[in-house]
Amino acid sequence: MSADVVIVGMGYVGLPLAQEAALQGLSVVGFDINPSVVEGLNAGHSHIDDLSDDDIQAMLSAGFRASADDSVLAEASTAIVCVPTPLARDGAPDLGAVTGAVSTIARHLRSGMLVVLESTTWPGTTEEIVRPVLEEGGMIVGTDVFLAFSPERIDPGNATYGVRNTPKVVGGVTPACTERATAFYQRFIDTVVPAKGSREAETAKLLENTYRHINIALVNEMARFCHELGIDLWNVIDLAATKPFGFQAFYPGPGVGGHCIPIDPNYLSYTVRTRLGYPFRFVELAQEVNSSMPAYVARRAQDILNEDAKALRGSHILLLGVTYKRNIADQRESPAVPLAEYLREWGAEVSYHDPNVPTWNLPDGPLERVANLDHAVKSADLVILVQNHDAYDVEALAGRAQSFFDTRGVTTSSGVNRL
């Protein structure tokens, strides 16, 4: 049995990509080394926010299948790598999953095959790390096989932009590789944008998220001094956003989360430091500001309790929303985790509620969601809105709380503390 594409890694990137390709008529196999993921998918069960069980059933009806057997790669005319690239301790991207996936593909490489890396990484990875592995068997990239990088642009929870209508950047190691990869993605994606090369495509993804990282850090730092100066930053941003050109609104918060914003800019910083010998100062300063926000929120919580003649130690603090983004269950790099750790370290009793997270896994063990939200809000010494899920009637919750701290700027009551 042949396949148009085998997608390696059935997570937040690979599975939506597989869905779109399958629904557009391509024969798709999802390869994953986790047997439980494979079994779940083949049984019609989704394990990510953006796809429901019905979505998986529709994929299966369109011919999709999942496998933990790497021999399926021998069937594919195209293989796409969508595996995690977390940060290692030295700040470099951990390419263990990428090199493992590429080595697996190389064992099944055949003439004419297209290999695409979608996992975010530092500029040069596709050409310097992936290409040599593929060429070990004697085939030449650009002649015998084709290799490209295409940055994933998955935005979990975004109901407007998905895989098909988000423009797809594609950069090949050679012009022939770019042409081949572009033709492949054009089969199921509306707009494909060829890059000059794989390094440009790799760097484009890092620029996108570095831009956001730095601008979020800007408003996070402004939130601190605007609070001290008695200025409503949320109103300031609304006012600035009335300008129809030259301004894009970014908003402060308790920190940044997800795989992209807190991690991707560090790949670029790492590349500059290791290859050029000097720092990427904007990124490093932005990282310092954004990573300090959970501690800042914890200190503000302490100040709010002091104003109520209460000590942080021994106070009951309820956190509302512990995911990194609203209306999803994804907790990767959520700032709620370090916030909870600071509060507990300083003596507070911390509980939480999140409609999407029945059990919250903290570093020192799991925490069960409060059973009765209304009772928990009324009984807590301080309620902190960490993530503004649509399921929350924030104004009503703030009205019932003894004290309420809004880190998302969504409340309008003058009696509420806002970041």
Residue-level pLDDT at 1? 62
Residues 140-197 pLDDT 10s: 999 999 999 999 998 888 889 999 999 999 999 999 999 999 999 999 999 999 999 9
DSSP character at residue 171: E
CATH, domain range 213-418: 3.40.50.720
Q: What is the pTM of this model?
A: 0.91
Residue-level pLDDT at 219? 98
Q: 213-418: same fold as 5-196?
A: yes
Q: Are 336 and 386 in contact (CB under 8 A)?
A: yes
Domain locations in the chain as residue ranges: 5-196, 213-418
Active site residue 260: yes
Q: Provide the 3-class DSSP secondary structure of residue 141.
A: strand
d(CA 182, CA 89): 35
- Which CATH code of 3.40.47.10, 2.60.120.380, 3.40.50.720, 3.40.640.10 fits the domain covering 5-196? 3.40.50.720
d(CA 107, CA 133): 10
Q: Are 27 and 63 in contact (CB under 8 A)?
A: yes
d(CA 419, CA 409): 7
Give the helix/strand (H/E) hosting 281.
Answer: helix 281-291
Q: Sorting pLDDT into bands at 50, 70 and 90, what band is 271?
A: confident
Q: Can you read off the two tokens belonging to residue 285?
A: 């300063």
Residues 349-364 pLDDT 10s: 999 999 999 999 999 8
Strand 168-172 relative to strand 114-117: parallel, antiparallel, unpaired? unpaired
Residue 259: pLDDT above 80?
no
383 φ, ψ (degrees, to nearest 5): -110, 130
